[in-house]
């Protein structure tokens, strides 16, 4: 029994190096391990993750924040994902592709609003046209820690929710019920 963690929707984002590397990883694992289960989670978050922590830092600095794209996500807490993995091992699940999502589907802008609220900051969110977003991302790549890369911008064109192509953790009686807003409130960022 081999469990590989990939990412949700990577087979659709053919213009992203990140997505292609994840999808290539899936193919290599399936080719080399007979009893492989591939987990495809949406955005995984926790108190010290690279996703929410990064945006919280940026939101604490800037009174206005650009919205390049506004895809839908079903963020899953790392505790829920870990419990799904344990449940799959206990049930001896193999040779499956399973999408793992949190209990709610929310737009990227809503995620940023929830994060802003958690640090008691009101922020103005400004939609940025695609061409301007590309210029911004290209310029940002020259920074030691880019605000956004072209590859990340490409990923934001795609929703990160269940596709209906594969089973979900719910099909195995495994739950992910920690809501993004409720969990973010528990973290003391400021």
pLDDT at 188 over 80: no
Q: How far apart are CA 76 and CA 100, in angstroms?
A: 7
Per-residue pLDDT tens digits for 82-107: 999 999 999 999 899 999 999 999 99
CB-based contacts of 147: which residues, under 8 Å, 6+ apart?
58, 136, 140
Say what the pLDDT of residue 178 is.
96
Find where tokens 């193919």 sit: 27
The whole model's pTM is what? 0.90
Say what the pLDDT of residue 189 is.
53
Mean pLDDT of 135-149: 90
Closest CA to 5 of 26, 28, 32, 27: 26
Q: How confident is the model at residue 190 (pLDDT cuts 50, 70, 90)?
A: very low
Per-residue pLDDT tens digits for 27-73: 999 999 988 999 999 999 998 888 888 888 889 888 999 999 999 99
Say what the pLDDT of residue 167 is.
97
Q: How far apart are CA 65 and CA 30, in angstroms?
A: 41
Mean pLDDT of 126-137: 93
């Amino acid at each position: 029994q081999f469990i590989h963690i990939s990412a949700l929707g990577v087979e659709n984002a053919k213009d992203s190096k990140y997505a292609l590397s994840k999808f290539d990883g899936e193919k290599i694992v399936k080719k080399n391990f007979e009893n492989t289960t591939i987990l495809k989670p949406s955005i995984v978050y926790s108190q010290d993750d690279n996703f929410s922590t990064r945006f919280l830092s940026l939101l604490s600095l800037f009174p206005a924040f650009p919205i390049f794209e506004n895809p839908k996500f079903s963020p899953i807490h790392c505790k829920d994902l870990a419990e799904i993995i344990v449940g799959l091992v206990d049930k001896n699940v193999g040779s499956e592709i399973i999408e793992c999502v949190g209990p709610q589907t929310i737009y990227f802008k809503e995620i940023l609003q929830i994060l802003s609220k958690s640090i008691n900051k009101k922020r103005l969110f400004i939609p940025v046209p695609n061409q301007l977003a590309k210029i911004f991302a290209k310029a940002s790549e020259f920074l030691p820690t880019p605000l956004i890369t072209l590859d990340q911008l490409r990923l934001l064109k795609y929703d990160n929710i269940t596709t209906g192509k594969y089973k979900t953790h719910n099909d195995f009686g495994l739950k992910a019920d920690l809501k993004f807003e409720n969990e973010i409130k528990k973290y003391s960022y400021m």
